[in-house]
Amino acid sequence: MSEPFRHRRVMVYGVTGSGKSTLAARLSGITGIAWHAIDDLMWQPGWVPVPGEEQRRIITDLCARDCWIIDHGYGSWLDVPMGRADLVIGLDLPRWLSLARLVRRSVLSVLGRRPICNGNIETWRTLLARDSILVWHFRSFARKRARIRAWEQDSPGPAILRFTSPRQLDAWLRSLSTQ
């Protein structure tokens, strides 16, 4: 039996490497709701971050729309989508899985010179730097996981769906209907 998908403003949130962008793209394909890749909006070419005030303006404008799916929420402006979302999907996957996905994705990106984040290219230097995405995974994992679990226990507003395994997530996606 399919479950109707009634949500129109969705934030996918999870630890680094958990598959947020992949899920957002899949959900967009199922629902027809536009997906916005947050890292593409927050990073300029040359790995230059968009200034904080501009990030907040971009997100405020995006979240003012009637329908959207975003694949992340940066801490400095997380209040904006949380104040507008009607669903947060929390990807609370085990560290070993999210880290393995992140390492695989990053190594393939380096080897294939595939553009990511607004056309930026990962290199061995950026991958092994002190501020690399791999280091960020370790710095942010516990905080993001705790945040998801706290939201599930006491939602700050939007409905919260927490997934702890790819199998659980895939079953939910198969159950969706956009009727």
Burial 110-121 (b: 16+ CB within 10 A, else e): beeeeebbbebe
By DSSP bridging, strand 68-70 and strand 3-4 are: unpaired
Give, in degrees to the nearest 5, the angle at Cα 150 between 158 and 22. Answer: 65
User: pLDDT-based confidence at 178, cuts 50/70/90?
Assistant: low
pLDDT per residue as tens digits for the range 36-90: 999 999 999 988 999 999 999 999 999 999 999 999 999 899 999 999 999 999 9
Decide if 178 contacts 3 (C-beta within 8 A).
no
pLDDT per residue as tens digits for the range 108-144: 999 999 888 888 989 999 888 998 999 999 999 999 9
Question: Which class for 23: exposed (0-12), middle (13-18), buried (19 or more C-beta within 10 A)?
Answer: buried
Domain extent at residue 170: 3-177
Query: What's the maximum distance between 2 C-alpha atoms anywhere in the chain?
Result: 49
pTM: 0.92
Cα 58 to Cα 55, 122, 161: the distances in Å are 5, 24, 26
CATH number of the domain bearing residue 56: 3.40.50.300
Total domain count, the chain: 1
**Residue range 132-157: mean pLDDT, rounded:** 93
